[in-house]
Structure 1
């Protein structure tokens, strides 16, 4: 009888275990549904300014600039020219220092698309080369207006451009603005929602921090609208390489280490580039995540700041990372460890640079180096 009772108890325990397992299996679909819902919402990281439009897959522009084959084949100097595909910004800078002013001008006139995009080349030479390249481009010739300082111009794909506001060579304080989605050479300076564009953000920052030179950098292939591009890091990885080269080129020309301001999906780019960036401050705003769990995991010596206003829809996007989707911890959360930027009076996803806001005042203080 005792053995029968013992067996009965065992059977009852086994039955309870089976019931528990059945209930657990019943809950699994709910957990899976919640996870899938989070991933679908994560895929809605528009991370830019165009809203909830349908997105499409983008192929990142990579590799050396147009005209590189002719540049490499050029033997006019009796020696090899630095290969745009492999030369470091420091090597490029050293090469141009070895040339006479006439030799530099000649190369810029014959190879404007290469010299204009060659990180490490003299800044004024790049401006002149890009003006030449733009005047011959039907889509973007308007960017070659008088007095404009175009630091980079690549017509491939949707087009990429970087413009300097201020005197980059002489300014003691420098900033770089990195945009999010839906930005290219045709939209980086648009009248609609200007504070959601790198040119508009750069102008606002320069007005709030006079004397600071600001680079509006639309130098990578951004996602378009809602889609997997915005929820994954593929485009950001390609952009991170280009952003790191940009700051390396500025450093090679003796430009002060910049404060880098990264909006929305641009903060994913900055997070991946962080270990290689020549920057003194890294400021993210309206960020879906930086592909890092904490400031320490960014492996950067720059000070890291984060801003997110209460009305920014980015708060509705799950800060998760699973199977390649999502960008991880919210940089504005306490556990991430970034320095907070007050943004309670900013409005929406593109209101951080609005005149009179506390966020813009703080950005200006960071750009000027007035905060410790």
Structure 2
């Protein structure tokens, strides 16, 4: 009876949160964008290997078998496919996406761009294949191809904090929630995003990039929690997290070091850390019982201030990114 009562209380708290009185606000429902890249039908019609039947390692092997001239021909003829193939050479993807996006991302290294829905984009700062260390930042709600600035600020701040020694990926490669409504309180978008994030990490390995440190903000930490058991990473860092859909770090099933940060002014702290009937995301990763390494974020401000220059959290993030944090 006592356990049943606790469950009812948790459910009531979660419902309250979703309703908006404990931090969740309204948001419109989103449909995740998944599947093969735009233009795949014509790619297949030209007799080229089916992207949905190749792993990133197989994609890398296929492009490795082609002469550079043939690679460039494929990028010119099928930019929306080549530009989104995890495992294809990064420089070739940058060229394909420059063609596909026109002036939309002038001067940027665009590793992926999908115009469907609200749009998805993956930007790279630094040399992805030559850098000794690679970091990937996974965002939360409201980030899409038309609203990348909050994410790119984090990416550039992290790269600058490492003195430019770490390649940093701004990974807006999944359909994020809009606002913090029901989508943000449930795991559907995160499940779709986890598959895309896992494949992206496989693509990094396929092109010889360093195993990444993955920084997961807000709802992005739900994505990372669901991807963790399949995703190869040196470190898994969550910040401003509503939970990772697991009770503790050990249950994530990852060999990565797991870190967590939450500043005292972050509104996420008002969200009940429970998971009932699909609502909520479970234990607070900064709670002692979760078992993550706690990052000092006392001087960060609000839900979006963890990468602010001069903060203790950014200094620790930089140390993690460079492989020197203990």
With normalisation by structure 1, the TM-score equals 0.84
Q: Deviations over 1:129-157 (max 9, x none)?
A: 0000001xxxxx421x13x1000000000
Q: Deviations over 1:54-75 (max 9, x none)?
A: 2111000010110011111213
Flag the 1:41–1:363 CA change in 2: closer, same or farther, 3 A.
farther
> In the TM superposition, what is the alpha-carbon distance from 1:273 to its structure 2 partner?
0.3
- Segments of 4+ moved more than 6 angstroms: none
> In the TM superposition, what is the alpha-carbon distance from 1:53 to its structure 2 partner?
4.9
1:165 is aligned to 2:165 = no
1:271 is aligned to 2:238 = no
Gaps of 5+ in 1: 1-20, 46-50, 76-80, 136-140, 190-196
Alignment-derived partner of residue 176 in structure 2: 222
SS of the equivalent of 1:85 reads helix
Q: Which has the larger radius of gyration?
A: 1
Show the 5 A alignment for 1:146-185.
Answer: 146=107, 148-185=108-145
Q: Deviations over 1:241-274 (max 9, x none)?
A: 0000111001000000010000000000000000
Preserved contact between residue 237 and residue 269 of structure 1 (Cα < 8 Å): yes
SS of the equivalent of 1:150 reads strand
1:231 is aligned to 2:203 = no
What is the CA–CA distance in structure 2 between the aligned matches of 1:359 and 1:41, rounded to whole Å? 31
Q: Deviations over 1:28-83 (max 9, x none)?
A: 7x984x444312244269xxxxx8652111000010110011111213xxxxx331
Flag the 1:31–1:151 CA change in 2: closer, same or farther, 3 A.
closer
1:289 is aligned to 2:261 = no
Preserved contact between residue 179 and residue 198 of structure 1 (Cα < 8 Å): yes
What is the CA–CA distance in structure 2 between the aligned matches of 1:216 and 1:118, rounded to whole Å? 17
Q: CA RMSD in A?
A: 1.9
Query: How many residues in Structure 1 have an aligned counterpart in Structure 2?
Result: 323
Preserved contact between residue 44 and residue 317 of structure 1 (Cα < 8 Å): no
SS of the equivalent of 1:157 reads coil
> Equivalent of 1:62, from 16, 34, 39?
34
What is the CA–CA distance in structure 2 between the aligned matches of 1:31 and 1:303, rounded to whole Å? 31
Q: Deviations over 1:261-289 (max 9, x none)?
A: 00000000000000111210000000000
What is the CA–CA distance in structure 1 between the aligned matches of 2:210 and 2:311, rounded to whole Å? 27
Alignment-derived partner of residue 134 in structure 1: 101
What is the CA–CA distance in structure 2 between the aligned matches of 1:43 and 1:117, rounded to whole Å? 35
